[in-house]
């Protein structure tokens, strides 16, 4: 089942990439280069070992965005009162 999902995902990506290449060649070329760079990075980084992912790490980007929006909102509210 896993192999089937991997093949289906690859074919879906290949279809979307071909549509992007046909309609917007710069986007298709960027996807091609990005996948190549990602493949090289995964092949270099992956053998170094895999440690368990801490539970707070997947939520970190959302927390950073929420906190930064809160800070910017507070600053806009605080600086907006000086009118």
* Residue 30 in domain: yes
Segments forming the whole domain that contains residue 18:
2-47+57-80
Is 25 part of a structural domain of the chain? yes
* Interval 5-36: pLDDT, tens: 888 988 998 898 888 889 988 988 888 898 88
Taking alpha carbons only, the member of 19, 38, 40, 37 closest to residue 28 is: 19
The pTM for the full model equals: 0.47
Return the percentage of the chain with pLDDT > 70, whole number: 90
- Count of Cβ atoms closer than 10 Å to residue 58 Cβ: 9
Distance of CA 70 to the CA centre of its chain: 23
Q: Tell me, what DSSP letter sits at residue 55? A: T
Does residue 73 fall inside a structural domain? yes
Q: How many domains does the chain have?
A: 1
Spatial CB neighbours of 32, under 8 Å, sequence gap ≥ 6: 17, 21
Q: Is residue 52 part of a domain?
A: no
């Amino acid at each position: 089942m896993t192999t089937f999902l991997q093949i289906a995902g690859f074919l879906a990506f290949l279809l979307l990439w071909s549509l992007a290449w046909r309609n917007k060649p710069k986007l298709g070329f960027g996807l091609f280069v990005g996948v190549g760079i990602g493949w090289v990075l995964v092949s270099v980084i992956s053998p170094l070992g895999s440690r368990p992912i801490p539970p707070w790490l997947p939520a970190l980007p959302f927390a950073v965005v929420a906190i930064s929006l809160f800070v910017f909102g507070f600053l806009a509210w605080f600086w907006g009162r000086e009118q």
